[in-house]
Structure formats: C-alpha cells, structure tokens
Amino acid sequence: MSLFPNTLVLLSALNLTPPEVEPRSVARMPDAGKLSAFHELLASEPHVAGTPGDTRTIERIAAAFRAFGSDADGRPLAGFEVEVQEFYPLLTRPVKGSLEIVGAPVAPLGSRRGVLSLGTKEPNLAIDPATAHPDLDIAWNAWSGSGVAEARVVYVNYGRREDFALLAELGVDPRGKIALARYGGNFRGYKAKFAEAAGCVGLVIFTDPADSGFTKGKTWPDGGGWANADCIQRGSLATLPYIGDPLTPGRMATKDAERLDLATVALPRIPVQPIGYGAAQQILARMKGQASPEEWRGGLPCGYPLEDSELTLRLEVEQTREISRTANVIARLRGAKSPDEEVIVGAHHDAWCFGAADPLAGTICMMESARNFCELARAGIRADRTIVFCAWGAEEYGIFGSTEYVEGDAAALSQRAVAYINLDMAAMGLSPGGAVSPTLRAAITRALAAAPGPRGQGTALAAWSKSPAGAPAFGDLGGGSDHVGFWCHAGIPSVSLSTGGSEGTSYHSNYDTVAWYRATVGDDYAAACLVTGMTNAMLAGLADTSTAHISATELVDDCVKQAKALAKLAADRGVGTPALDALAAAFESCRDAAGAADALASGAGAPDLRSLREIWCYADGIPGRPWFRNLYAATDRFTGYGTSLWPMLREAIEDATPGDRDAARAVDSATATYRSLAEKLAAILLRAPQGG
C-alpha cells in the first residue's frame, strides 16, 4: 500500500498546506485487498432487482459508503452524505419456463417418439458451491410474454431484421412457428420484437459456442472460462422508444407517480426462453430441412437447417409483473471551491444472479474510488467540484435506476453535472478501452497519461488502443448501460470505461460467481486496480476547476467527421443533397475559433464552453423517439447496443429512398437542423475570447 495518504495526514497535523488532489497520485491509491473484499461482500448472494437479496445488497453498499465517511473514532466526514434513493418501477419475475421437443424422434437421435425436456437452469458445480444457492432462478428473459406455444421450429440466425429478410428471400415462412435464434448481432429484445413482427408464436435464444463457447477455448470449469454447454444467458427484452421504467417515461418512478396503462405499453407478447448450446444442439441435430447459408452456421457439430416439417417444440413461459421497490445508493463528497458543480461516477448494483462480472467488476471499482477520495478528504484534501458516487438499481431490467435519477430533475442536473463516468462490468482484463463524448476526449487523454498502466507498469494511455494516426481510439457512446440517460436524454458528456482481455465469459448466467471471476480474470485484482486508477485520475482532472475539461477542437473535429460520413451515406443511398454535402464545411469553418478558445480554456478569463453541449439538446427529441433529446447521439433503433450518431439526420437518411418526396423533405429538414447547430456553435466560439 502507498504511504501517500499517511504523508497527507502528517502534513495536515503540522498545519501545512497539503497538495491539491493530483491525478497521478490519486490514481495510485487503489488497494487490491479492498477490491477483493468488496467483491466478496457484494457477490455473496443472488440479488436480482426487487428481491430480498437486492434489498440486502443496497444495505451493504450504503453501510460501506457510511464507513468511508467515518474515521477510526466514528466521527463523520464533513460534507459527505449518503442517500438511499428509493424508486418504484414495474418489474417482472419468473414463475415457469420450460422447453420440450415433442412429436419427433427424441431418444439420442434415435427413433422413439415422445417428449424430451430441455434444461432451463444450469446444473450445480462441485468446484463452486455458490452455484447451489437456493435463490438462483431458472433461466429467463425479463418481459417475455406469458403463455404456451407448441409449433414447428424455424432457425433465424441472430434474429436481426436482415436475417428475417433473408428468410423471406429463401422462401421460408416463419409465421406460426417458434423461432430459434443465437445470441449476438443485436440486443436480445430486438430478436423478440422482429420474431413477433414476423408472425412467430415464440422465441428460443441460445448461446452458440462459436461466439462464446468451446470454439473460443477451454470452458468453465474444465480448464478455462468460456461458456460450457449448460451456461445460459438471461437478460431483458425491453425495446421501448425510451429507457427506464416502462410506466413512467420522462418522470421519476416514485411511489405515487402517474403511470401509463400497462396494456398500452409495447412489451413482448410471445413467450421467450433462453437455453444453453447443449440444449440447442438437441434441436438443431434433429432438424432435417433446408440448409442455412454458410454464414449462419455456428460452432455446434451439426447442421443448422432452417426448418423441419416434423420437429415440434413446446414452449411454456409464465412471468408476473408488478410495481416493486428498489433503490439507488448515492454518496456525495462536497467540493472545496465549486460544490454546486458535480462530476458523477456510477455502476449498477443489481445482477441476474451473483453478478461477479456483471456488474460487480465495475461496482467494486466505483466503491474503492469513493474510499480513496474520502481518505484524501479526511486528510484535508478535496477536489474543487463535488464528486458523486452512485450505485444504480434495476439496470438489468432496462437501465432503470440511473434513468429515474436523471428524470427526477433532468434540467437541474444538466446545469450542475460536468460529466458522468460509467463503470458497468468494467474490470475484465488488462486491456483498457472505452467510449467518450467528443468534448471530454482531451481531458480523458490527459487523465489516462497520469494513470498507471496494467500492473502499475507504464501508463494507461500507453496501453489504450490507438487509432491509425496514433491517437487514443475512443468509441462512440450509444446504448446498453447507465450512461444512456445522462448522455442521450440530458446531454451530459459521458465516459464508459472498461478493460477486457480475459479468456472467457459467464455473462448473465448462474456461473457468474467470484470463483469464476478469480479463475478467469485474476485473483490479484490487477484489472480492478487498473480501472480504479483510471477512474480516480479522470475524477481528479474533471473535478479540478483550474483545468479545462471541454475541448471545442475535439467537438469540431468530430462534427466534421460525422457530417462527411452522413453525406457519404446519403450519396450511397441515392438521396444526397447539395445542402448535406456542404454541411461538413459549415462545421469546418469553426475550427480556428475552436482552437483559439481551447488555447484560453485554463486560467483567468477562460471562456465558459459548457454551452457547446447545450445546443445539442432538443426539447422535442428525435422523430418517433422523443425521449432521446440529444441530437448528437442515441441508441441504435435496430440493435439496441449500438450508437446512432446525429440520429435525427442519420435516421432520415436511412429511411429515405430515391424519388420519395416525403423522405427527401425529411432529409432536408434534418439537414437544416444540423446546419443551424453549426451556426450556433460558430456563434458561441466567436463570442469566446480569441487571444492576442
């Protein structure tokens, strides 16, 4: 352990002026032993949102935060507050989930006809006693329709829009059949949505070994960490045009909130059941019909036929839906100079099972970061801005907790929040990476240069993946986790930070335990130390009022990139226009003013560039999805996990066809909107001091 905190205590005792919170120093404070202990604490039992295990997990996190804010004598840390923020969303719980092969040969590829039940829960593992916990559920997909479907089966690859389109071209009719889809390619909810739209009466989703099983390496627990034949991925199916509680879009799901009529909410109607690839092989090996395209075939040692004239499945799913209580746990460490401005870091606490990887490989990093900054504060050292540490509830159901927090008062939050950092399932190896909003990229680059690299060697920046030009390769923020409410709804610049590289996955399964994590990712918690160090450096930099956190140049560069990409997309689709072709030049004209503003961004007389982000928030939202108010980015409307950059214009182009006048007008209108944004950007930059 570093002696740095003890040095700070000594300086404070001598009444000397201690150093400021310095990114390079605070990035070296994480303690592997503390991270390990947090992991054991939070992964001690299953804790699905709304269950008694969830309640106990909330209590454990709140108690840990309160302990961070107390010294050895129990005296509280001034300016440190812990809040358990209750909310009451609609949640669903499994009652029954079964899948059987009926009316076809069911003996091991033999001739006897009858019924073969397929497994819908992972077997216990002798090597890992946690897998025998009595609170572990069957495998299920939240928001599945309840009911029984008995029908022939049709294999639909990943269940994407293009997969169903190809089935139609091949003359395969999915209507009245149970779709069999493999995980991957899109968010699982869209598999259900597209299957239902295609007329399927049920859906079965399986993990294919080509994506995360034995073809990737040795499986768990037989020498590796990849999914074995019985490992099943759970997960939400929600694909609503908004994020958060299904019944309270745009407002917080308080106990007495006004709610939508559940009958009007577009949740899935067909039954959906996930299975492992061992069960999927039992189905596919018995199918004798038309062969699927080569690219549709996964890693199972059998054919992947499209359908079978005899093979019938019986699928039965029952789930309940009711308003339930859960909570966010929020700890605020008051800033020394600008306490009304906040830097927020969060990770969700709920899991489908134990959640050792998802989410706790990020949650423990957020908690250790809170402990580190509280330790500094007890020594008299605080960041300029307030730092907020958040453990979000019910993320797995559809990004609920963080969204309810944002919706509680999005306008006020947008004014006080400088940035949001998300740590979902963050520490999964020693290869760092992440997605970053454009205005934050320069500040995040500086933080990565100050943080230690893997196992303390070099810097995190050196280990970060690079673009062809040698700059750090930052992804674009889209869907999939708790940054969505901050970035896509409230327009708050965000970071999604993670590491990868471990050989295996236990994603959303009963095998996502501490034993799996330590065997696969590492029992030294080097990955968690790496993530916490990067997080600490980012928080220190973003919470420092003397250092610029907004880069106008990075924003302008990215705007030019997006405008050129969309002009090319429109040209390729035959719907390009002169106005769209000229859009990149409108943003390009801002480059000199952006550089001048950035040159003066620190120190006295620095321009306030926060309005650069405000111009992108559009009160009416994007067409068809008004909850998504940030015209810079939204979740991709067909994959869920992906990003739709400049969504109003991008989606108008994607929907347009040559000769369609209405579509052309939509493209023209969206182009004009983004042209006006270029003009607003130019006006802000030209009002900023331009130097001598």
Sign of the four-CA dihedral 291, 294, 296, 302: positive
CB atoms within 10 A of CB 504: 23
Span(s) in the chain for CATH 3.40.630.10? 20-89+324-542
Q: Give the CA distances from residue 220 to residues 223, 279, 302, 355, 504, in Å, rounded to whole numbers and listed in that order.
A: 6, 17, 22, 16, 8
Cis peptide before 359, with omega less than 30 degrees from 0? Answer: yes
**pLDDT score of 692:** 42
Fold of 92-320: Glucose Oxidase; domain 1 (3.50.30)
Rounded Cα distance, 192 and 205, in Å: 9
Q: Would the CA dihedral through 399, 404, 410, 412 be positive or negative?
A: negative
CATH architecture classification, 20-89+324-542: 3-Layer(aba) Sandwich (3.40)
Helix (H, G, I), strand (E, B), or coil: what is residue 482? coil
Token pair in block for residue 563: 């405008």
Q: Would you state the structure tokens that stand for residue 684, as one six-digit string?
A: 């802000």
Tens digits of per-residue pLDDT, 149-193?
A: 999 999 999 999 999 999 999 999 999 999 999 999 999 999 999
The reported pTM is 0.95
3-state secondary structure of 54: helix
At residue 73, the pLDDT reads: 80
Tokens of 610: 């926060």
Each residue's pLDDT tens digit, 533-569: 999 999 999 999 999 999 999 999 999 999 999 999 9
Provide the pLDDT for residue 599.
87
* Residue ranges in the chain whose pLDDT is less than 70: 1-19, 104-105, 107-113, 602-607, 688-692
Residues 478 and 243 sit within 8 Å (Cβ to Cβ): no
For domain 552-687, give the CATH number. 1.20.930.40
**Cis peptide bond upstream of 221, omega within 30:** yes
DSSP 328-349: EEEEEE--SSEEEEEEEEEEE-
Residue ranges of the alpha helices (H) in 551-690?
552-572, 578-581, 583-588, 591-599, 611-614, 647-655, 661-687
CB burial of 641-671 (b: ≥16 within 10 Å; e: otherwise) equals ebbbbbbbbbbbbbbbeeeeeebbebbeebb
H or E, element range at 498:
strand 494-500
